């Protein structure tokens, strides 16, 4: 279930990405696990930063690379995204 939605506005894509990274870094949510670390990693992805991705990019390209970088213990869940 979604507990919050982050909307950011700025004059450029670069400014939006900087603002979003800062918000994710400073965000504190107690009592539930979040996928904020996943969102932060996604914001740092070069294709996302350039705005050069399609609707299948997350599942087909980003997610497999991201999962390979995770410690084994994190692959079991806890962030509400990876099962």
- Rounded to two decimals, the pTM is 0.69
Q: Closest Cα partner for 83 from 35, 49, 36, 43? A: 35
When pLDDT is cut at 50, 70 and 90, the band that residue 76 belongs to is low
Query: Among the listed ranges 4-13, 35-44, 73-82, which one has the minimum average pLDDT value?
Result: 73-82
- For residue range 21-66, list pLDDT tens digits in order: 999 999 898 988 888 888 999 999 999 999 999 989 999 999 999 8
Length of the chain as a residue count: 83
- What does the mean pLDDT of the chain come to? 84
Torsion of CA 44, 46, 57, 29, to 10 degrees: 10
């Amino acid at each position: 279930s979604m507990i919050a939605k982050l909307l950011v506005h700025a004059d450029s894509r670069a400014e939006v990405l900087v603002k979003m990274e800062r918000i994710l870094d400073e965000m504190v949510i107690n009592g539930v696990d979040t996928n904020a670390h996943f969102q932060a990693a996604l914001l740092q992805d070069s294709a996302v930063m350039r705005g050069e991705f399609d609707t299948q990019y997350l599942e087909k390209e980003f997610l497999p690379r991201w999962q390979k970088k995770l410690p084994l213990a994190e692959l079991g869940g806890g962030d509400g995204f990876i099962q």
